Amino acid sequence: MRALKVVLSLSMVFITGSFLLADEEGQTFLDQATEAKLNAKNFQDLEEVVKLAEKAVEAGLDDGGREFAIQLITSTLYQRAEQLSNPLLSGRPPQQWVEMRRLALSDLGRITKYDAAFADAHLLMARLHALPGGTRKAGVESASKALELYEDAEPKANALVARAALREDANEKIADLSEAIKVDDDNSAAITARAAVYSQQGNFEKAAEDFRRVVELDGDDVLAMAALAEALAQQEEFGQAIEIANQAVEKQPNASAGYELRARIHVMQNNIEEGRKDLDKAIEINPKSEGALLLRANIALAENRL
């Protein structure tokens, strides 16, 4: 019996020692990962951080060390995914955007395997899937998951805006965007997106209401002013439309867009001379303005036919 106790005691010592050695090895890798993160300068450096932190988890850590290692892994992967995604979501993606999206989605997928409650990762996945060639179903699921996880109004609204961008049905888009505005009534992205859907449906009255709200939120948003003026002009409210176009010109007198906008409204009223003056000014500012050149050419063709 005494011999059995000795054997059991020795076994416990051996097992405990093994755990201590594992913890020590894991901590060494974690220290290396932390140091690597502080000195990281490029994507390859960030990948090295992740590899070292993953080795630390595999080697064994105490509860606090494991939690820290996983946070280090997920935050580093998100940093890299965000850096890859920002140029893609800027409106002017680089030529290699398809590969960049693939890499970003891969990193985001790795994050959610470690932490399924990482809401920002789900939202970024949804936004990437909304780009051409994305997977609509996966994007909607990611946006819905982010919506479920977020607690604050603004990120909830952002998740709804992302989901709306992935919807095929216009009524579903409007439902998501209306819910986003209900959650966060100053969310200009949601209001602008809903206005755009209304415009596509030909509901220029509702579109004008939303664009007017965007201008109220940001009096310097010339794009919203232009959209509001267009919506008003479509309702033949030309006086208000010209007034808004004048404001756009005043805000950016050295940009061609305001003059092009005002020219289109003049032409819609058959006020050709005033329209031509604004087009000439727009082309003087930007000789390569395709919109202004095309409209001026159309006016010339129409006059020749007459």
Q: Is residue 40 part of a domain?
A: no
Look at residue 300 and tell me if it is in a domain.
yes
Residue 211, in any domain of the structure: no
State the alpha helices, DSSP H only, in the chain: 2-39, 43-59, 63-88, 97-114, 119-129, 136-149, 153-166, 170-183, 188-201, 204-217, 222-234, 238-251, 256-268, 272-285, 290-305
Q: Is residue 243 part of a domain?
A: yes
**Residue 237: inside a domain, yes or no?**
yes
Is there a domain that residue 34 lies in? no
DSSP string, 261-285: HHHHHHHHTT-HHHHHHHHHHHHHH
Whether 58 maps to a domain, the answer reads no
Q: Is residue 130 part of a domain?
A: no
Residue-level pLDDT at 24: 80
pLDDT digits (tens), the chain, 306 positions: 444 343 334 343 333 343 444 468 888 889 898 898 998 889 899 999 999 999 999 998 888 999 999 999 999 999 999 999 999 998 888 899 999 999 999 999 999 999 999 999 999 999 999 999 999 999 999 999 999 999 999 999 999 999 999 999 999 999 999 999 999 999 999 999 999 999 999 999 999 999 999 999 999 999 999 999 999 999 999 999 999 999 999 999 999 999 999 999 999 999 999 999 999 999 999 999 999 999 988 888 877 654
Give me the domain span that covers residue 286.
222-305
The two structure tokens encoding residue 139: 């994007």
Domain count, the chain: 1
Give the amino acid at 140: V
DSSP classification of residue 79: H
CB 260 within 8 A of CB 295: yes
Report the distance separating Cα 64 and Cα 55, nearest Å. 16
pLDDT at 14 (0 to 100)? 36
The CA-based angle 288-292-298, given to 5 degrees, is: 125
In CATH, what number is assigned to the domain containing residue 298? 1.25.40.10
- Residue 286 pLDDT: 95
3-state SS assignment for residue 256: helix
